[in-house]
Structure 1
Amino acid sequence: MTVHHQLDGRIFADVKSNPPKFLMLCALRHALRATEQFKSDAKGIIVCIVDKAWIWHAKAAANVLMTGGKEQSLYDDFRRPVHIIGETHRRASSKGIEDVAVFRPEHQVIYLASSLDGVRRSLQLAADVIVRIAPPTARHIIAARKLLGVQDIDFSLAESIANQPAEIVIGLAVRHSLEGLDVSTLEKPATVASINSPSLSELPGFGPARAWVNSIKRDVADWREDVIPWSDVDRGILLMGQPGTGKTLFATALANELGFDLVSTSVGAWQGSRNGYLGDMLAAMSKSFADATSRRGAVLFVDELDAIGDRATMRGDHAFYEGNVIGRFLELTTYALEQPGTIVVGATNYGHLIDDAVLRSGRLEKHVYLELPADEERAEILSYHLNHSISVEDLREVTDKLRLATPADLEKLARSAKRAARIHKRQVTLSDIDAALPAKIPLPEDVVLRICVHEVGHALMAIESGTADIISVKVESHMIQGEEVQDGGRLQYKMRNEALPTEKDLLAKIRIMLGGTAAEEVVFGNRSIGAGGVEGSDLDQATRLAYRFAGSYGLGKSLRYHVGAKRIDGSFLPAVELRSEADAILAREYRATKEILSKKRVHLMQLAAELVVDRQLLIEKV
């Protein structure tokens, strides 16, 4: 017994005169058309999750879909094509809740349930496909009214009706005329994203993702107008970046920007479902995807995506578990992105730990790294969280000193400042923000001198590189109490030939990054911790570039390609030979940097002394 793609005239006449059955037949065909059971009549078990109010209409429609509307009295209970799980029949003469046995069919069989939680684990594992059946759409309602011969309605009215409970949808679908219907009296559709949360266009920051967002916004608008099919819309994106850079906020704001629901979950939540066994994990994962695809537009946000695993690194006892999890995730992602109105956003701090198949074209194909915000962005973000009560220009006085602040840090700062203003019953001022900052203490003069030497070392190596002409240097006079790693100085310059840097250019960059700590050793005979300690530090950047140089760009001892340049982040675990070669590159360039700065020691000390006095310096290439 397989899906009947065509119905004979008598059966179709019966279906079209029964609007609930027709509407659910449309919904079933729409949801199942991507499955192998529908496309190629493959044998298998299909579990369908249906809204409780529609489930009995879905059973009637499923019987038509599976039997062509013909009587199948020859089949015993174990061979019936459609079963309902956990629901009492509406008719009083019913025998009650069905007790469904799990078996491997010689044909196709559909199980209907109002919740995946109500489907026993054995059946979830046995199912060839688990599909969320969305309620009938606006187009289904328009088609039903045409077949009934009642008055035509426009798409916007049909869409408003489609968002209603089943009883209202059925009643309005058969009503002869809907002229004069007050749409405002209909129930508002429920959404998962907070109605008070902002849309992406209202938020500052997220610069690297803006172009993609603008493109998808246009595509979704065209899709809604039937200008393009859903397959022409970009639907999968991976966000990477350190904690606090706004990955979760991005997904929420994207959903609001598009007018979609947000379905938010994480791999950790799936792993923690019930007892965390493989079946529990797969069921929880399937439920999240089914929830997203059941909506008329949803952003499925999956956090901690690196925990899904990577088949290239699977070893030992966990290989079977991880292999099944990755395989199921790939299947669900592919299916979800084919469903009109479903967008999948993944987030991770460790992009290189994700299986390549997850990141390929057609799945999470767009990869965006959310950096710490730039100077202007920091002020814009803080101004936004202060409800724009202080201008961006005025806030630069504060935010230009917070180079290591994440968007989350800036939001916390705004909350503290607003709290202080409320206590004093006035508007937020710059003094409230200053008071909310961590306590600062003056730096000793010898520490200021070391910082100035450090920054001038960077600057001189930038001039020496031959690719930077103007360098701006600023240093701080205070340190944050309790912070081990301080951001004591800032160096700004722009290198030429950023488009296609050569081997010489990249090595020059490494020397610039090492110039600060090398200058300290040249002048003081020892080094401080100022070159390392945090992601984005001098040593972090130099180390990553050395790994890219040898392991990704093919500029090292061999032409072997180890890993993509973008996948070399703070948690990258290199092979032993790659680590040795990166160490050798860093050691060689550090020796060269010290040698250059030793020859320029007098000039180095002269510029450092000027910087101690003025706290800022502009150096131009002669």
Structure 2
Amino acid sequence: MTEDLAKERSGEIGWQDVDRGLLIYGPPGTGKTFFATALARSCGLPLVTASVSKWQSAGHLGDLLAAMKATFEKARSQQPSILFLDELDSIGDRTRFKGEHGVYSTQVVNYLLECIDGVEGRDKIVVVAATNFPEAIDPALLRSGRIERHVRLDLPDADERADILRFHLGFACISDELRSLAADLDGWTPADLERLARDAKRHARAKERPTRLADLADALPPLRTLSDETVARVSIHEAGHAVVTLLLWSDMKVALSVRRNYRPTASTERLGHARFFHPDPEVHTRESMENLICGALAGAAAEELVLGAHSNGAGGRQGSDIEYATRFATLIVASYGMGESLLFALEETKIEASTARRLPSPMQSEISGIMRKQFDRAKALLSQHVTILKSLTDSLLEKENLTADEVATLFRGGASTILKR
């Protein structure tokens, strides 16, 4: 998009060849607002910012729509420009509106559609929107010609964390010490890292000198060390994911990690992680979706098999194993006609884990039954391959990180041992 905007301004291409909109989505704190600011700066274009909550604060419906129109007119007056709409999910989805507020909310969505892609057009305005919940946005806003490109921002890796800290601290380059420090901050969001840099600069100001790496170290929260029991539980959980997944997919690769020492942050505290490398299937069958559910629940199943019960690490938040499994079981029953009924109850883009609670009781029971069956299946598979589970667990406990190749080697070695018996 940056290159196209530069070529449009130089006259090499026409505005009709430039993408009209971009949706940035991902977990909170991953830098969506910063991305929009950096994009405008890179393109040398003015940035106009707004949000539904700001429009709403103007007053009643007429005031809200007037504020929305004023925002687009401001962007039009500075064209070419970038218009950043934060928390776009607040606009809602017309198919979900109910009750007395439904008409009100529908008018808000319709007017935004008119502003973005009405008869008058939006001239040379690129709309960049941000959200934590893309599934809550009206699909009409996200179609081609409107907010058409969708980019997910995930948590940064170690190198990206080092570069983010370097930027906010104003350092010229990334030293080995900074790289080592950033590697210790797994799970930290860009927002967490920016706050850490502010704290470090505050330490330096108190000493009336430029910011140093020592200030960053001083600003870090105390290092926490997990108990041996917790590290063992997390290792069993992640190894369970790997064993079942590799049993169900021959072309899957899995990398594992566990954190014995970590620095807590206001964001998620991910104590262990299984990363999957697998090409998405062209189509899904019930079997393939059940395999996904089985693999998702395998961590909890491993805990229960080895330790007698699973911990709260399998659920409790969006993106957790149980949330993921619930969403796929709901798709089977309520959207894809793969359950006991062929009834189409919900669009796949509308399904969240909480959707299951609003379905009829028979569908809820079927969803729960699918998950229970796949949990039991995962536990049975693990009980048949305890040697592999133990081998992966022990190696993860020792190294704390296992590459996909290391996991595959351990898995094949354990499988060969079983076959020889």
* TM-score where L is the length of structure 2: 0.83
Q: Secondary structure at the match of 1:408?
A: helix
Q: Give the structure 2 partner of residue 253 of structure 1.
A: 38
Q: Does 1:237 align with 2:19?
A: no
> 2:115, 2:122 within 8 Å by CA — same for their partners in 1?
no
Bigger share in helix: 2
1:265 corresponding residue in structure 2:
50
Distance 1:470 1:357 in 2: 37
Query: Could you say what secondary structure the match of 2:277 adopts?
Result: coil
Q: 1:393 to 1:328 in 2, by over 3 A?
A: same
Distance 2:281 2:378 in 1: 25
**1:289–1:336 Cα contact (<8 Å) kept:** no
Match in the other structure for 1:352: 135
**1:279 alignment counterpart:** 62
Using the aligned pairs only, state the percent identity: 38
- Letter of the 1:367 partner, please give it: H
- Per the TM alignment, residue 288 of structure 1 is displaced from its structure 2 partner at its CA by 0.9
Tell me the distance in 2 between the aligned counterparts of 1:485 and 1:303: 22
- For the 8 Å contact 1:476–1:489, the answer to whether it is kept is yes
Shift of 1:493: 4.5
Is the 2:192–2:266 Cα contact (8 Å) retained in structure 1? no
Distance 1:467 1:361 in 2: 36
Give the counterpart of 1:330 among 113, 125, 140: 113
RMSD of Structure 2 on Structure 1 (CA) = 3.2
Asked if the contact 2:8–2:14 (Cα under 8 Å) also holds between the matched residues in 1, the reply is yes
Deviations 1:306-347 (A, max 9, x none): 222332222222233223222222222224983432112222
Deviation at 1:530, TM superposition (A): 1.8
Indicate conservation of the 8 Å contact 2:185/2:263, yes or no: no
SS at match of 1:343: strand
Q: 1:337 to 1:392 in 2, by over 3 A?
A: farther
Larger Rg: 1
Confirm or deny that 1:524 pairs with 2:307.
Answer: yes
Q: How does 1:119-134 map to 2 (within 5 A)?
A: none
**How big is the shift at 1:568?**
4.6
1:562 aligns with 2:323: no
When residues 240 and 603 of structure 1 are mapped into structure 2, their CA distance, relative to the original with a 3 A threshold, is: closer
The 1-side partners of 2:398 and 2:107 are apart by 64
Secondary structure, counterpart of 1:358 in structure 2 = helix
**Is the CA contact (8 Å cut-off) linking 1:522 and 1:601 kept in structure 2?**
no
Asked if residue 383 in structure 1 is aligned to residue 149 in structure 2, the reply is no
Which residue of structure 1 lines up, in the alignment, with residue 212 of structure 2? 428
Q: 1:230 and 1:484 mapped to 2: Cα distance? A: 40
Counterpart residue type for residue 563 of structure 1: E
Q: Is the 8 A contact 1:440 1:478 kept in 2?
A: yes
Aligned residues: 402
1:428 partner amino acid: R
Q: Which residue of 2 aligns with 1:155?
A: none
The superposition leaves residues 140-196 of structure 1 with CA deviations (integer Å, 9 ceiling, x where unpaired) of xxxxxxxxxxxxxxxxxxxxxxxxxxxxxxxxxxxxxxxxxxxxxxxxxxxxxxxxx
Change (3 A) 1:235 1:544: same
> Are 1:251 and 1:345, in contact at CA under 8 Å, matched by a contact in 2?
yes
Kindly indicate whether residue 276 of structure 2 is the aligned counterpart of residue 498 of structure 1.
no
Aligned residue in 2 for 1:363: 146
User: Any residues of structure 2 matched to 1:146-545 within 5 Å, and which?
Assistant: 213=1, 217-273=2-58, 276-335=59-118, 338-389=121-172, 391=174, 394-423=177-206, 425=209, 428-429=212-213, 432-468=215-251, 471-478=254-261, 480=263, 486-495=269-278, 497-500=279-282, 502-503=284-285, 504-545=287-328
2-structure distance, mates of 1:359, 1:612: 44
2:347 maps to amino acid: V
Q: Matches of 1:463 and 1:388 in 2, distance apart?
A: 43
Per the alignment, do residues 486 and 241 of structure 1 end up closer, same or farther by CA in structure 2, a change over 3 Å counting?
closer
CA distance in 2, matches of 1:594, 1:323: 47
After superposition, give the CA deviation of every residue in 1:484-541 in whole Å (9 maximum; x if it has no partner).
974222334423x435365444433332322221111111111111222333333333
Tell me which amino acid in the other structure corresponds to 1:220: L
| Number of the residue aligned with 1:150 | none
Point out where structure 2 has 5 or more consecutive residues left out of the alignment.
413-421
Residues 337 and 343 in structure 1, CA contact (< 8 A), matched pair in contact too: no
Aligned letter for 1:498?
D
Instruction: Answer yes or no: is 1:591 the counterpart of 2:381.
Output: no
* 8 Å CA contact retained: 2:184, 2:262: no
Q: Residue 85 of structure 1 aligns with which residue?
A: none
5+ residue gaps, structure 1, are 1-212
Distance 2:266 2:298 in 1: 24
